[in-house]
RNA sequence: GGGGGAGUGCCAGAGCGGUCAAAUGGAACGCGCUGUAAACGCGUCGGCUAUGCCUACGCAGGUUCGAAUCCUGCCUCCCCCA
């Protein structure tokens, strides 16, 4: 049973709402009591081009601190992205090209401002201080021991399973910790999988004679499969820049079991269990659309959704695919081009009755159609892919 | 420095000379059911203008009528000893 995470770490402040833990006990209250604005750090490694709802959970927490008058320090980990965070990893992370990291950094920052107030956010890239001469790097890393780093679960598990752990990965916590020194962090936020990194940063700060930061961890948001962590690489994410129709559709496909967590982490309210699950899910989906795709987009997306799935209508805004008029059209080829699947796949789908033209299933043995019969019609592939065929 | 083991499809993991486009499970996809939820049932899951053809089992060669399966070299990973 998961759901209520509110009282973690004994922090009684409103700002700790939803957090899994706030460590060490009392540290946050103590700092808040000082009355000065705290420097609240959140680091995100730009390993993918888009921010999704999983990132939003922790960004939203940062926004709350911001709203309470504290300083939001958003670190784009353009340098640590090159190293690769071993947290929760069971294998070596593939390396990203520098240009890729650079492009991701830009979109990340832009998209983070869909949650944060840009005027009250200090954005830093950690290459500013981590891109240092090796002599300085050595001086930094010699402060810590291998035994201390190997305490972490991910490493011991991988080593036990005879899987590789690179030297570079071992360095990751040290680098992330040094970020805290560089930005003089009072509090660092992160997902629960970041606990080791966040706590290790305290050691790094201490070794530099700084006051160690408090840390606050937030629950991990499951992806649209309802089970695994939301992530780009698992393909179970909802991006904040996606069109409302996508956001709505994806959220509706999230299993009911994950709804309490979605409500708590994304809407900031407890799910009212007396509501019909379908209605509660629609409500959530509308709110998220309104927030990220623009006010009112939720209702519009919902209407479109119902037209397609309840009334079985074809969407008016389906992408357009042009064909030449004259002669027959070979359906597998058309599907391949229109939907970006392979020709073999197209044939299989056809054979499985997954192709509809204006709502009518194409017979499995039908491979060619006169082009005249296709012009102006909507081809549907499976439940949610649509293309409107238009004469060229 | 010495000794041993392993690299198979999106992932995990069988296969160990022909019947292998490669068992099985998971993921994914499709159809049905439904609340585009879950669960369940059935099916698909390399490519190709397709009853056949092509490309594939770390990479490169070789042996064989025939290789994922045998040999040689290379690359990568792991373990043990020092």
pLDDT tens digit sequence for A319-362: 888 888 877 888 888 898 888 888 889 999 988 888 988 888 88
Cβ A382 to strand B below 7 Å: yes
CB A223 within 7 Å, strand B? no
Cα–Cα distances (Å) from A130 to A61, A100, A181, in that order, read: 26, 19, 11
Cβ contact A156 with chain B strand, < 7 A: no
Nucleotides of B under 7 A from a protein CB: 12, 27-31, 35-38, 43-50, 77-79
Supply the pTM of this predicted model: 0.77
In a domain, residue A224? The reply is no
pLDDT range class, residue A5, cuts 50, 70, 90:
very low
CATH of the domain at A341: 3.10.290.10
Tell which phi-psi region holds residue A372, choosing left (phi > 0), alpha (psi between -120 and 50) or beta.
alpha
Residues 327-346 of A with CB under 7 A from strand B: 330, 332-333, 336, 342-345
A228-269: pLDDT as tens digits: 888 876 778 888 888 888 899 889 988 888 898 899 888 888
Q: Which residue has the higher pLDDT, A93 or A25?
A: A25
Chain A window 274-293: residues with CB closer than 7 Å to nucleic chain B are: 277-278, 281
φ and ψ at A21, to 5 degrees?
-150, 155
Q: Which nucleotide is nearest to A355 (CA to C1')?
A: B30
Nucleotide nearest A281, from its CA to each C1': B37
- Identify which of A78, A89, A79 has the alpha carbon closest to the alpha carbon of residue A165: A89
| Domain containing residue A142 | 14-218
Tell me the pLDDT tens digit for each residue of A156-200. 666 665 556 667 777 888 899 999 999 999 999 998 888 888 998
A190 CB neighbours strand B below 7 A: no
Spanning CA of A236 to C1' of B21, the rounded length in angstroms is 29
Is A209 contained in some domain? Answer: yes
- Mean pLDDT value of segment A97-120: 86
Say yes or no: A385 and A270 in one domain. Answer: no
Residue A264 and residue A333 in one domain = no
Q: How confident is the model at residue A4 (pLDDT cuts 50, 70, 90)?
A: very low
Residue A124 pLDDT grade (very low, low, confident, very high; cuts 50, 70, 90): very high
- Residues A372, A261 share a domain: no
Whose C1' is closest to the CA of A354: which nucleotide?
B30
Q: Report the distance from CA of residue A333 to the C1' of nucleotide B33 in Å, as an integer.
A: 32
**Is the pLDDT at A145 greater than 60, yes or no?**
yes
pLDDT confidence band for A383 (50 / 70 / 90): confident
Q: Is position A230 within any domain?
A: no
Minimum mean pLDDT range among A7-11, A62-66, A157-161, A353-357: A7-11
Mean pLDDT over residues A204-228, rounded? Answer: 89
Whole-angstrom distance, CA of residue A246 vs CA of residue A298? 11
Which of A258, A288, A309 is at the close of a domain? Answer: A309
Residue A295 has pLDDT above 80, yes or no: yes
Q: Residues A213, A253: one domain?
A: no
Cα gap A318→A31, rounded to integer Å: 54
Taking the CA of residue A345 and the C1' sugar atom of nucleotide B25, their distance in angstroms comes to 23
Are A279 and A350 found together in one domain?
Answer: no
**CB-based contact A354:A382 (threshold 8 Å):** yes
End residue of a domain, out of A309, A330, A350? A309
* Residue A3 counted as domain residue: no
Does at least one atom of strand B sit less than 7 Å from the CB of A122? no
Nearest-nucleotide field for A92 (CA, C1')? B77
Collapsing DSSP states into helix, strand and coil, what is residue A139? helix
Alpha helices in A341-390 (DSSP H): 343-351
Q: Is there a domain that residue A136 lies in? A: yes
For residues A85 and A172, what is the distance between their CA atoms, to the nearest angstrom? Answer: 6
Residue A87 has pLDDT above 70, yes or no: no
Q: What pLDDT is stored for residue A6 in this prediction?
A: 42
Q: Which pLDDT score, from 0 to 100, does residue A220 have?
A: 87
| Contact assessment for residue A191 and residue A218, using Cβ atoms and an 8 Å cutoff | yes
Distance (Å) from CA A275 to C1' B5?
58
Domain count, chain A: 3
CATH number at residue A19: 3.40.50.620
Asked if residue A115 and residue A60 are part of one domain, the reply reads: yes
The answer to whether some atom of strand B lies closer than 7 Å to the beta carbon of A349 is yes
Banded pLDDT at A3 (limits 50, 70, 90): very low
Residue A282, H or E segment: helix A277-293
Q: What is the mean pLDDT of residues A294-322?
A: 82
Distance of A163 CA from B5 C1′ (whole Å)? 14
DSSP string, A46-98: --SS--BHHHHHHHHHHHHHHHTTPEEEEEE-TTHHHH---TT-SSPPPPPPH
- Judge whether residue A252 contacts strand B, using its CB and a 7 Å cut-off: yes
Q: What is the mean pLDDT of chain A?
A: 83
Higher pLDDT, A300 or A165: A300
The span from the CA of A360 to the CA of A336, in Å, is 19
In chain A, the DSSP E strands lie at: 21-23, 39-44, 71-76, 121-125, 187-191, 214-218, 320-323, 328-330, 355-357, 360-361, 368-370, 378-381, 385-391
pLDDT the model gives residue A258: 87
Answer yes or no: do A143 and A70 share one domain: yes
ipTM > 0.85 (yes/no): no
Q: Is the domain of A61 the same as that of A135? A: yes
A196 and A80 share one domain: yes
**Do residues A272 and A386 both lie within one domain?**
no
A229 belongs to a structural domain: no
Q: Is A1 a domain residue?
A: no
**Residue A157 belongs to a domain:** yes
Distance in Å from B31's C1' to A225's CA comes to: 21
- A376 Cβ nearer than 7 Å to chain B strand: no
- Tell whether A152 and A70 lie within a shared domain: yes
**A308 CB and strand B closer than 7 A:** yes
A56, A195: one domain: yes
């Amino acid at each position: 049973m998961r759901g209520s995470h509110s009282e973690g770490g004994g922090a009684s402040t409103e700002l700790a709402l939803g957090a899994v833990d706030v460590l060490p006990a009392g540290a946050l209250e103590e700092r808040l009591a000082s009355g000065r604005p705290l420097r609240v750090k959140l680091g995100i490694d730009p390993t993918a081009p888009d921010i999704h709802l999983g990132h939003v959970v922790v960004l939203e927490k940062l926004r709350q601190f911001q709203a309470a008058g504290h300083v939001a320090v958003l670190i784009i980990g353009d340098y640590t992205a090159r190293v690769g965070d071993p947290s929760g990893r069971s294998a070596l992370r593939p390396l990203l090209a520098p240009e890729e990291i650079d492009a991701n950094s830009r979109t990340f920052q832009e998209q983070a401002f869909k949650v944060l107030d840009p005027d009250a956010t200090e954005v830093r890239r950690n290459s500013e201080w981590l891109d240092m001469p090796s002599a300085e790097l050595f001086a930094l890393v010699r402060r810590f021991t291998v035994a201390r780093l190997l305490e972490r679960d991910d490493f011991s598990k991988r080593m036990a399973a005879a899987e590789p752990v690179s030297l570079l990965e071992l360095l990751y916590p040290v680098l992330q910790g040094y970020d805290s020194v560089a930005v003089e962090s009072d509090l660092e936020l992160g997902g629960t999988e970041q606990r080791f990194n966040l706590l290790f940063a305290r050691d790094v700060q201490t070794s530099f004679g700084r006051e160690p930061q408090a840390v606050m961890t937030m629950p991990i948001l499951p992806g649209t499969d309802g089970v695994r962590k939301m992530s780009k690489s698992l393909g179970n994410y909802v991006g904040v820049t996606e069109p409302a129709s996508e956001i709505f559709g994806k959220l509706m496909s999230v299993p009911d079991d994950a709804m309490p967590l979605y409500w708590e982490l994304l809407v900031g309210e407890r799910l009212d269990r007396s509501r019909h699950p379908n209605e509660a899910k629609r409500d959530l989906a509308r709110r998220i659309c309104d927030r990220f795709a623009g006010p009112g987009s939720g209702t519009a997306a919902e209407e479109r959704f119902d037209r397609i799935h309840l009334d079985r209508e074809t969407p008016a805004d389906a992408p357009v695919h042009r064909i030449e008029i004259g002669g027959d059209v070979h359906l597998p080829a058309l599907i391949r081009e229109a939907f970006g699947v392979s020709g073999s796949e197209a044939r299989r789908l056809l054979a499985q009755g997954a192709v509809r033209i204006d709502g009518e299933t194409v017979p499995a043995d039908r491979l060619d159609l006169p082009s005249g019969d296709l012009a102006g019609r909507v081809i549907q592939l499976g439940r949610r892919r649509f293309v409107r065929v238009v004469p060229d």
